[in-house]
Amino acid sequence: MSQSRFHELCKSLEDARARFAGYHSECVLFAATLSRGLTEYANWPRELVAYEPLAGPNAGTPTQKIEDAMHLGEDAFWHVGLKLALEVPKGRDAMLLEIRFKKLETRYIISLFGLEDFEVAAPTPEALQPIYEAILNAVKRHYDYGLRLFLENGGRGLKIPISNQRLLEMARGAGGAG
């Protein structure tokens, strides 16, 4: 006896849920590989890296588990906040970067700073190196040219935004920019 249409639809639902669970797991693994690879590439102390949800009830609340900071947006990209902190003798600074990515059939698409798209077939250190360089260069440019560009044109030309509040936080050594 064949299954009823209702049972076929129940099976379709179970299959769809399993596909999404698998997709979610692959995306969590990708995000963890990307962030762990960045810390290793830059020799960034792991205790100075955290994640933050960018939306929802826990937005802005740091977490050590990247999956707790990820959300799937209406734009079909996963969004995750990567908080990178620096400590120097006179203070601390941190900046929150939004990383957007999605996995398609044969590749991942990664968007940084809302501007640049990278495509990688697999999250290998070699494939991810241009992404690491883009992040690290943007952080360096933020610190090296932030004040000058803020005074000249409100900070245009920086991939990581600068503001008067951000400059004051950095000057006090209490920066935690988002």
- The secondary structure of residue 174, as a DSSP letter, is B
Per residue in 118-141, pLDDT (tens digit) is: 999 999 999 999 999 999 999 999
Region 20-39: mean pLDDT is: 97
The count of C-alpha atoms lying within 13 angstroms of the C-alpha of 45, restricted to the half-sphere facing its C-beta, is: 7
- Note whether 98 and 54 are within 8 A (CB): yes
Given phi > 0 = left and psi -120 to 50 = alpha, else beta, which region is 135?
Answer: alpha
pLDDT of 1 reads 55
Q: How far apart are CA 125 and CA 37, in angstroms?
A: 7
Region 34-43: mean pLDDT is: 97
Q: How far apart are CA 92 and CA 175, in angstroms?
A: 6
Q: How far apart are CA 7 and CA 89, in angstroms?
A: 65
Q: Provide the strand spans (E) within the chain.
A: 49-52, 71-72, 78-88, 91-103, 108-112, 116-120
Residue 127, H or E segment: helix 125-153
Where do the structural domains in the chain lie, given as residue ranges? Answer: 5-172
